[in-house]
Amino acid sequence: MANQPQHFCVNLLARAELYLCLAKVFSVTDLPQTTVSLKSDLLPDLQSLATELPALSADWLKQFEQALSAVDQSELLMADYGRLFLMPPAPAPLNLGFYLDAGVMGRCCEALESYYHQYALEKSPEFHDLPDHLSLTLQWFAWIFAGLLETPDNSRVVLKDAAEVISNFALPAVQQLSDKADAFAQGHPVHATWLLLLHLVKQQLQDDLRQLADYLPAQTASFDRTHNHASECLSDQLVPTMQLTCSLCQREFIADEVLGGMVSRLEEAGVDANHIKVCSVCKDGATEHSRMTPPGAKRFKQRA
């Protein structure tokens, strides 16, 4: 059994705050971002977290501040967001499944949504994108890390989930996302702001995975994931079929691969999995999940 990484847990609040800041800046529901809000709200928040998180190095903060100073109009900042992430054919979509499944609504999307539901979370109705959007995954990290401050007894399961999501989904996808954005910027006039923010996401995920490596099987504790290896890890964790009894209607049903894998993993860890044993009929009508809006803190995360 892995021991709880002491240094990681000491900085849980700082990690939660950083992931929430980054989730907000990439969120489609919080757009448009302005240079004023990023300079006056986001930058001070990041500077205040720098003493606890090595990813927020003095060099990165200097580059980010210079990049913001070079943007003289907020419209240009949002135009770059659209050119990089939105306008078809977008060179660097923010949906993680684009890089791991080579499409949308694939296994990555289903698996991430299952992780969200495991913590009784779902995307807000105002969020008009898929569950594998980078912003939602970052919000999930913020939520579970902040939650550990209140319920530390559940740390083993939570940190194992975090390690799996970083290793199998978030990091391999963000590495490719960041590389594609960088490549696009080589031939197009794109401000460095979004590129630097993607570099920060990638660096923080790498730092977290390094500290959580003990929660992963030895063969998957890698810090340089590839598309094929991530897909193999996902396939290895899935259970082809499993007969379950719905915890709501008490009817038996056959779980899909993702749900079967989640149930097996929880039960192997000695954790009650009844809360996710829900058939498709009850799931469609269920309204018990909380909206994925972690508690905010500091200026940028509180801005309306």
148 in a domain, yes or no?
yes
Amino acid identity of 28?
Answer: V
**175 burial class (0-12, 13-18, 19+ CB within 10 angstroms)?**
buried
pLDDT attached to residue 221 = 45
- Between 117 and 3, the higher pLDDT residue: 117
Cis preceding linkage at 89, omega within 30: yes
CATH code of 165's domain: 1.10.3480.10
263 in a domain, yes or no?
no
Question: pLDDT at residue 102 above 90?
Answer: no
User: How many domains would you assign to the chain?
Assistant: 1
pLDDT attached to residue 96 = 94
194 in a domain, yes or no?
yes
B/e letters for 184-207, b = 16+ CB within 10 Å, e = fewer, are bbeeeebbbbbbbbbbbbbbbbbb
Per the prediction, the chain carries an average pLDDT of 79
Q: Say what percent of the chain tops pLDDT 90.
A: 40
- Give the CA-trace dihedral at 48, 54, 59, 63, to 10 degrees: -60
246 in a domain, yes or no?
no
173 in a domain, yes or no?
yes
Q: Say what percent of the chain tops pLDDT 70.
A: 69
pLDDT attached to residue 209 = 95
Q: Which whole-number Å values give the CA distances from 287 to 117, 124, 262, 284, 291, in the listed order?
A: 11, 12, 21, 9, 10
Question: pLDDT at residue 234 above 60?
Answer: no
pLDDT attached to residue 123 = 65
- Between 17 and 81, the higher pLDDT residue: 17
Q: pLDDT category, 267, cuts 50, 70, 90?
A: low
Rounded CA-CA distance 165/134 in Å is 12
74 in a domain, yes or no?
yes
296 in a domain, yes or no?
yes
Question: pLDDT at residue 231 above 80?
Answer: no
Cβ 191 vs Cβ 181: under 8 Å:
no
pLDDT attached to residue 225 = 40
251 in a domain, yes or no?
no
Around Cβ 71, how many Cβ atoms within 10 Å? Answer: 18
Rounded CA-CA distance 131/117 in Å is 11
Question: pLDDT at residue 238 above 60?
Answer: no
Cβ 111 vs Cβ 117: under 8 Å:
no
Question: pLDDT at residue 69 above 50?
Answer: yes
pLDDT attached to residue 223 = 42
Summarize the confidence of residues 46-68 as an average pLDDT.
Answer: 96
Please enumerate in sequence order all residues whose Cβ is within 8 A of that of 23, keeping only pairs 6 or more positions apart, or say none: 134, 135, 136, 138, 139, 142
Please enumerate in sequence order all residues whose Cβ is within 8 A of that of 228, keeping only pairs 6 or more positions apart, or say none: none
pLDDT attached to residue 104 = 67
pLDDT attached to residue 177 = 97
Domain boundaries, position 111 = 6-238+292-302
pLDDT tens column, 172-200: 999 999 999 999 999 888 889 999 999 99
- Between 142 and 107, the higher pLDDT residue: 142
pLDDT tens column, 32-43: 677 788 888 899
- Between 193 and 238, the higher pLDDT residue: 193
Summarize the confidence of residues 55-66 as an average pLDDT.
Answer: 97
Which residue, chain included where needed, has tokens 């890390």?
145
pLDDT attached to residue 273 = 63
Summarize the confidence of residues 137-152 as an average pLDDT.
Answer: 92
